[in-house]
Amino acid sequence: MSTRGYAAKGPSLPLEPFDFERREPGPHDVLVDIQYCGVCHSDIHQTRNEWGGSKYPMVPGHEIVGTAAAVGDKVRKFKVGGRVGVGTFVDSCRRCGPCRAGDEQYCEDGATFTYNCYERDGKTMAQGGYSTYITVDEAYAFDVPTSIPLERAAPLLCAGTTTYSPLRHFGVKKDDRIAVVGLGGLGHMAVKLAKALGANVTVLSHSPNKHEDATRLGADDFIATGDPEVFKKNASRFDFVMDTVSAKHDFNAYLNLLRFEGTMMLVGVPDPAPLAPSALQGHRRRLIGSNVGGTKDTQEMLDFCAKHGIAADVEVIPIERIEEAFDRTVRSDVRYRFVIDIASLKS
């Protein structure tokens, strides 16, 4: 099936219109008529080859929402016209321990990520949601609750699940003190989700002008990190730190904000920076990493958001403004997620 998308053809080239093929839906597949796709910082890292190994042409996008245009005859979860969400991966081995536990992103055989990855045949390029349609096995698609406006649901498929998964896995609960570092797409979801879990949330930001927004999003406190004194003043204050920063920074400074046996959850993927053993050892602190959320956590998160009235704060743009959106995201000038209106690709 011929599909229209926007692709990067090289690391320093702007995205441009690109036509490519999607498979015809098989018995277990849903053909999704994409309506909105969020713009994750990982789209920028990968189209610009900031992690190395990028494959071109690359249609990015893994915060996908739309409606089922067709369903295979074995599909049970979705009906034509119903809402469908697709996140950061579209297949995996389905047999290993992580796959059986609904943690497919940690598949021992390697998950098939939504783009910049080969499908399981080892030769077809998976292409993402900056496109009109996607064909996906229903086991890797999500039921998007109707109470969440569709454009505000899109960012939940990556930013939502990436922050929800470690919050749940490490048991963040009522009255825990958590610092969210970086108020962007992931950060603003972390604030909303941690608040809904009853935690006491402090935002740490290098942008002094985000204080009011942090408060509006539900944060109890705000720390502008421009003044190095704040790291001394807030030493050993938090049970958890969730680090969502996209650019290189000093991990040790944030580790030192943890109390005895506190946990720093690293979800941002910046360039590497040195780790001081003493920042961990002195207070038996933990540093953990977490990669997106599996099918189990993602559906649970969508239902949790519906229950708690949570959705992303978005700025909807036509696809033609994608380069501006990338540049503004890199400048931390996004309130708090750009979302592409895919109607702009269909006209």
Interface with Zn ion (CB under 5 A) = 40, 42, 92-93, 96, 99, 107, 109, 158
**Distance of alpha carbon 108 from alpha carbon 110, whole angstroms:** 5
Phi-psi region of 113 (alpha: psi -120 to 50; beta: other; left: phi over 0): beta
Structure tokens of 110? Answer: 């390697």
* Least Cβ distance, residue 123 to ligand NAP (angstroms): 26
Residue 67 sits in the site that holds ligand NAP (CB under 6 A)? no
**Distance of alpha carbon 232 from alpha carbon 120, whole angstroms:** 50
Q: Which of ligand NAP, Zn ion, none sits in contact with 329, Cβ below 5 to 8 A by type?
A: ligand NAP
Q: Which of Zn ion, ligand NAP, none sits in contact with 41, Cβ below 5 to 8 A by type?
A: ligand NAP
Candidate list 49, 200, 291, 344; residue touching ligand NAP; CB under 6 A: 291
* Least Cβ distance, residue 287 to ligand NAP (angstroms): 14
**Distance of alpha carbon 165 from alpha carbon 293, whole angstroms:** 5
Omega before 254 cis (within 30°)?
A: no
Angle formed at CA 54 by CA 48 and CA 56, multiple of 5 degrees: 90
Beta carbon nearer to Zn ion, 39 or 75:
39
Q: Which of ligand NAP, Zn ion, none sits in contact with 92, Cβ below 5 to 8 A by type?
A: Zn ion
Other CB atoms closer than 10 Å to residue 34's CB: what's the count? 28
Q: What is the DSSP letter of 139?
A: G
Q: Which of Zn ion, ligand NAP, none sits in contact with 165, Cβ below 5 to 8 A by type?
A: none
Looking at residues 36 to 55 of the shown chain, list those that interact with ligand NAP (rule: CB under 6 A).
Answer: 40-42, 45
Q: How far is CA 62 from the centre of its chain?
A: 8
Residue 306 sits in the site that holds ligand NAP (CB under 6 A)? no
Residue with tokens 């956590």: 297
* Least Cβ distance, residue 111 to ligand NAP (angstroms): 12
Beta carbon nearer to ligand NAP, 70 or 316:
316
Beta carbon nearer to ligand NAP, 215 or 291:
291
Residue 329 sits in the site that holds ligand NAP (CB under 6 A)? yes
Residue 322 sits in the site that holds ligand NAP (CB under 6 A)? no
**Distance of alpha carbon 325 from alpha carbon 87, whole angstroms:** 20
Omega before 318 cis (within 30°)?
A: no
Residue with tokens 């603003």: 188
**Distance of alpha carbon 214 from alpha carbon 198, whole angstroms:** 16
Residue 210 sits in the site that holds ligand NAP (CB under 6 A)? yes
Other CB atoms closer than 10 Å to residue 150's CB: what's the count? 17
Beta carbon nearer to Zn ion, 25 or 155:
155
Provide the mask over 104-143, with x wherever binding to ligand NAP is found by CB under 6 A and - wherever it is not: ----------------------------------------
Q: Tell me, what amino acid is at 267? A: V
Chain residues binding ligand NAP by CB under 6 A are 40-42, 45, 158-159, 162, 182-187, 205-207, 210, 244-247, 249, 267-270, 290-292, 329, 332, 334
